[in-house]
Amino acid sequence: MFRDIGQMVILAWRTLCALPLSFRHLRKVIDQFYEIGNASLLMACILSLFIGGVLALQTGPIMVERGLSAVVGSVVGLSLCKELAPVMMAVLIAGRIGSAMAAEIGSMAVYQEIDALRTMNIDPIHYLVLPRVIAVSIALPCLVVFSILVGWVGGGIVSSANADIAVPWQAYFSSLSRVVDNWAVLNGLTKSFVFALVIGIVSCHQGLNTIGGPRGIGRSVTKAVVNSIVLILIVDYFLTRLLLQLDF
């Protein structure tokens, strides 16, 4: 485990050092970005809509019962913004894109394509890792913004349509806008950016270290998804503490 962590830190550092070369890989970044958006947008939309709805459904009746109907929008809005949307989208991307990254790079490692790159003096970190990490680091925050907006709508629909809550659409959004400011959105975006780096580095690391044929590829994909999700949750805790201390 410690060797894996060490290797991931080195991979992250080498990817960071390669950042000035990113303009050379613009085409690949755009391709990867399109791939991520194309694969995840519909799923993100459905997921966010229902999570927003469920959040309103869980918290709404209890709050209304205690005379706190004016804060239903605030609770749903803030929870989605700071916590649910970043974590949920990160988990979605880890499963949907992280697995694809690990599988693609892993298959290239098994079938000697990465060795072929090395013999041509093409650094696999520049060619494979850098575009993917950049693309996911841009795509995940964009998806989080989309998810927050859709989640708010989902919460609003349930709040206004459910008889046990019955908070009008306008009152819901007015409550939401009182609490959710730019800093709250920035908080979610900061988290999603860090989660994206975790997904990119963990998945590419697993892919590059794949050995042992199709079974090895399967193992790498599983490890990439599981390790990414575990790390996202751990990082989320510490990041939340840090951002709270910074009054973010």
Contacts with other proteins, residue ranges (CB under 8 A): 24, 104, 107-108, 111-113, 115-122, 127
Shortest Å, Cβ 121 to other proteins: 5
Shortest Å, Cβ 126 to other proteins: 8
Shortest Å, Cβ 80 to other proteins: 36
Nearer to other proteins, 83 or 123 (CB): 123
Nearer to other proteins, 116 or 161 (CB): 116
Nearer to other proteins, 107 or 159 (CB): 107
Shortest Å, Cβ 90 to other proteins: 26
Nearer to other proteins, 38 or 121 (CB): 121
Category of 181 on φ-ψ map: left (φ > 0), alpha (ψ -120 to 50) or beta: beta
Shortest Å, Cβ 113 to other proteins: 5
Nearer to other proteins, 117 or 142 (CB): 117
